[in-house]
Chains A and B, each alone.
Chain A
Amino acid sequence: MRVNAVLLWVLSVFFLLSAAVYGFWTWLDSGDDQRIEAVGTIGMFLCAVLAAFIAFYVGRVHSAQGGELPEDRLDANIDDGDAELGFFSPWSWWPLLLGASVAVSFLGLAVGFWLTYCAVGLVLISLVGWVYEYYRGLFAR
């Protein structure tokens, strides 16, 4: 995790320098109206923010975990990393239904708004179904 954080910090500095150089260069090159080209400058500056944001969070996680993960150690065994990783749904129909109903609601925006009214109901059903799938029936606790 430490390497991940360092890599992202390096990326962040790189993008910050790129944004500065690009902004300055386009300002020099702009002629009489003296303006910075906004799209590239903002794009690269916010790439720096993106990398710094994730780097900061990964760094925080790394310092909170109290040691290196087995996958970051040369002396670790395979079974050191077999602790519980989290909950992963084995399979589910809900994401498919959710995606399809969102697609229909946007199709409605394009071809006829009445379709969106119908799709919003489907979106609500599939969203609630997806969020509460492991809270109902056999999984109720």
Chain B
Amino acid sequence: MESVTSTVLTSRATTPAINRPNSVAVGTIVWLGSEVMFFAGLFAIYFTLRSTSPDLWAASTEKLNVPFATINTIILVISSFWCQFGVFAAERMQPRRTGWKPTQWGMVEWFFLTYAFGAIFVAGQVWEYATLVSEHVTLSSDAYGSAFYLTTGFHALHVTGGLIAFLLVIGRVFAVKNFGHKEATSAIVVSYYWHFVDVVWIGLFLVIYVLK
């Protein structure tokens, strides 16, 4: 029996096992690319009107409450960090907390915290709009008002959409008995969207409140 071999005789597959790209994640990124171009249009509106009426811009940007907007911006940026901690929890397949310490939190707790910070940001925007309207900067008052409310307003709508998406993703966790890759994927793509909206706001903040 010396000549008997235990080597497996079946041939190896031609291609090695590879991780196929997640089509949901790649699709989300391509869609966010199209969102870049949507905001490109808004930035183009803003800069064109700014270059045609510099005096109006000089007078209107005086009315902006820059410290308030800075704090609001910081709140939105922090919410992105909470969101990322939620993604880390989703990636270790931990939907809920195992204790009260933040290191033991699951995706749901981090996403609720992100939601709270995002909601504070939108509420701050509403307060800022109300103040500006009382100072006679409205959507139809002049070119500055149109440009300001179009750019920041469409951004605020995106943030609101992101808040709804967080609720739907949290709802999916409560809808299943076992948290799986499908739920983790939806958490990750919502985080992509949230980070994107956050970066767009940093761009808008620099253009509207810093560059004026």
Is the C-beta of A86 less than 8 angstroms from some C-beta in chain B? yes
Contact yes or no, A67 B16, CB < 8 A = yes
Inter-chain CA distance A54–B171, complex, in Å, is 29
In the complex formed, the residue of A with least CB distance to B46 is A38
Is the C-beta of B22 less than 8 angstroms from some C-beta in chain A? yes
Is the C-beta of B30 less than 8 angstroms from some C-beta in chain A? yes
Q: Which of B36-44, B59-67, B114-122 contacts A (4 or more CB under 8 A)?
A: B36-44
Inter-chain CA distance A82–B164, complex, in Å, is 36
Contact yes or no, A47 B37, CB < 8 A = yes
List CB contacts (< 8 Å) of A84-137 with chain B: 85-87, 127-128, 131-132, 135-136
Known: A38-B44, A39-B48. A141 touches B15 (CB 8 A): no
Contact yes or no, A86 B22, CB < 8 A = yes
Is the C-beta of A80 less than 8 angstroms from some C-beta in chain B? yes
> What 0/1 readout, one digit per residue, does chain A (45-86) give for beta carbons within 8 Å of chain B?
011011101100110011011111110010111001001011
Contact yes or no, A76 B44, CB < 8 A = no
Inter-chain CA distance A96–B14, complex, in Å, is 43
Known: A50-B37, A67-B16, A86-B24. A135 touches B168 (CB 8 A): no
Known: A42-B44, A75-B14, A76-B14. A64 touches B19 (CB 8 A): yes
In this complex, how many residues of chain A approach chain B with their Cβ under 8 Å: the count is 42
CB distance from A26 to the nearest CB of B (A): 11
Contact yes or no, A132 B171, CB < 8 A = yes
- By a CB distance below 8 angstroms, the chain A residues around B44 are 38-39, 42-43
A and B contact pairs by CB, cutoff 8 A, 18 listed: A1-B21, A36-B51, A38-B47, A39-B48, A42-B47, A49-B36, A53-B29, A54-B30, A57-B26, A62-B21, A65-B19, A66-B16, A67-B18, A76-B14, A80-B13, A83-B20, A85-B20, A135-B175
Name B residues whose Cβ lies closer than 8 Å to a Cβ of A: 13-16, 18-26, 29-30, 32-34, 36-37, 39-41, 43-44, 47-48, 50-51, 164, 168, 171-172, 175-178, 182
